[in-house]
Amino acid sequence: MTTSPDQATAVRHPLDRLTAEEIEQNRVIIVNAGHVTETTLFTLVGLVEPDKRDVIAGAAGIDRRVRSTLIERSTGEQTEILVSLTSGSVLMARVLDIENEGQAPITMTEYEESEAMIRRDPRFRAAVEKRGITDLEQVRVCALSAGIFDIPGEAGRRLVRGSCFIQPTPEDNAWAHPLEGLVAYLDLNTGEVVDIIDTDVVPVPKENFNYHLDSWLPEPRTTQKPIEITQPEGASFSIDGDVLTWEKWQVRLGFDPVEGLVLHQIGFDDNGALRPIVYRASVAEMVVPYGDPSPVRYWQNYFDAGEYSMGKSANSLELGCDCLGEIYYSDAVLADDQGHARTIKNAICIHEEDAGILWKHTDEFTGAADVRRNRRIVISFFITVGNYDYGFYWYLYLDGTIELECKATGIVYTAAYGDEAQRQRWSSPLGDEGLGMPFHQHLFCARLDMQVDGVENAVDEHDAVRVPFGYDNPWGNGFTRKVTRLTAEGGRVVDGEVGRVWHIVNPSKLNKHGFPVGYELRAAAQPTLMAAEGSSISRRAAYAKNHFWLTHFDAAERFPSGTYPNQHPGKQGTIAHWVEQDRPVDGDDIVVWCAFAMTHFPRPEDWPIMPVDRLGFSMKPYGFFDQNPTLDVPRPKSAHCATQGGGAAGGAAGDACCHDD
């Protein structure tokens, strides 16, 4: 069963998502102010979230504001415009300093036009013909974000770099047939191909890998019995506008064109009091840098949030395919490239699911056997950016745990190699036609604007410590922990040897045991950014050099690689520069950033389509509650198992569950 109530048009809260009517109103105001011509593109249109403290205080009469970023293609000028919907006026318009601030994200309009622009270039056509390709319509050009490398003539241009693949027929999987050694540098504003990189001619791999065609696939297996997920009494959660309530959780849903799904005001009902934990949570950036330094691939590093707008790349989800069970879908209303409202149907999926054992014990002294099952609410969305697809799943559990899981799938980027030694060094080889899957990383960054029982928060770093033999450890078995208060802004890395975690605490709020209430952030001990220090990508994706960052709250510091990562030089305006301000973070209003990564040496099993790989982080209450907050979870019942011996101690017959995870 699915439900998808109509989007409310009346704004009831300052953080309510923009409605279609508001997006259209924003466009009218900007047009009337003279900022739009026939060659203007709206690259970003987003809600300006009101001052955090005003929202927390419940201030009335908050101005409803929208920020838009426009490109005037005839001149290349890019303008950021602030509009008050409340007064119906433009409050500010400023031209971006694109050489220092970076450029607005690539729009779908530009992406769709780029292939035809590149195909028209005589040098490009000659390079294609040199490779024995006579039908130019078979050449598919992937116009990818250009980065910035201080190449002469690069400054000030709005560039993409076009890599090529061959698609012999309209239904063929072009990723299987890379056209190697050819890249076109395109100016998106002028349509001019400013440079052609034409290296060695390499034969195009011919083998087809059309996983999407039934005619290519093996016979489907017939061994699977149906799995049905039902909730006969309906879902346990409720939605009121943008506010989701489930069990003891409450969270407000948002959706941003860059970040996609945003969770606001995450709180937990503790004995009738809604206690705040996180004011705002989102995936603020992700970058995919490639490790092949060849002339046609050294520049490959894509900021899927800042350069391609993850929110605008969201899929429309389908019941039975993307989501199972008692599903609530929510649409995303965003602006298109002309500034008009467009709706992505079913962009957000919300459902609850069984999450295995919550707690269990069979006691040898009392004879009691107790078990409880866990549940979680799942809030998710999926995006497609080029060859890769990513699902972002926020989980809230009965015990107060918060998790973010990213599911990476799609098609691994391919290359063709004429030199087997190079193929072995920089990629995972596929077959005997020179096909390879270049090594790369997926580096995400979550922004967590913390509010653990208030905005006066701090961070303690916890390490496990071995204690040497001594008077207080005569048998050598002792170990303890080291707790270090982080008193300065900066970045830290996970250390698996000491089990490093970070506790976000409120020093002014103590639990009944006398310790500050807090949440523990656990990040995976995976490699950080592999690129060399001093490289272009190491400046631009500096957030990926650490697993954890701590900054003082600043509403303008939303994106760790800058507001406009597209061709951003990384010399200012990134998280690496914010932490140099030496602002207070000990018992103050803070933001923590968790960078989590997958270093991908592709497997043969990742081809021709990649099974989901998972990565993410978790936050668990640590002293936030005085004891286990799930003691009131009822004993499980199962219609599919019989009890033995008349039932469990302390429970009625038939109440026990006889199958554990």
User: Catalytic residues, which ones?
Assistant: 304, 388
Cα 169 off chain centre by: 34
Distance CA 506, CA 455 (A): 8
Collapse the DSSP code of 437 into the 3-class scheme (helix H, G, I; strand E, B; otherwise coil) and give the result: strand
* Residue 607 DSSP class: S
CB 221 within 8 A of CB 344: no
CB 64 within 8 A of CB 86: yes
Cβ-based neighbour number of residue 237 at 10 Å: 18
DSSP states of 514-570: SSEEEEEEEE-------SPTTSHHHHHTGGGG-SEEEEE--TT---TT-S--BT--S
Tell how strand 610-621 and strand 590-600 pair up.
unpaired
Cα 492 off chain centre by: 20
**Residues 585, 586, 592, 598: is their CA dihedral positive or negative?**
positive
Q: Which residues, other chains included, contact 125 with Cβ-Cβ below 8 Å and sequence gap of 6+?
A: 119, 136
- Is the peptide bond between 232 and the residue preceding it cis, with omega within 30 degrees of 0? no
- Identify each DSSP E strand in 431-478 by its residue range: 435-438, 440-450, 458-466
The owner of tokens 């309209």 is 170
The owner of tokens 């087809």 is 208
CB 410 within 8 A of CB 609: yes
Q: Identify residue 141 by its one-letter amino acid code.
A: V
Q: Is 337 exposed, middle or buried (0-12, 13-18, 19+ CB in 10 A)?
A: middle
Distance CA 418, CA 395 (A): 46
* Short-list 160, 49, 164, CA closest to 105: 160
CB 550 within 8 A of CB 486: yes
Distance CA 350, CA 574 (A): 33
CB 254 within 8 A of CB 262: yes
Distance CA 394, CA 120 (A): 45
Cβ-based neighbour number of residue 581 at 10 Å: 10
The owner of tokens 């069984």 is 354
Q: Identify residue 249 by its one-letter amino acid code.
A: W
Q: How far apart, in Å, are the Cα atoms of 50 and each of 28, 307, 324?
A: 22, 25, 36
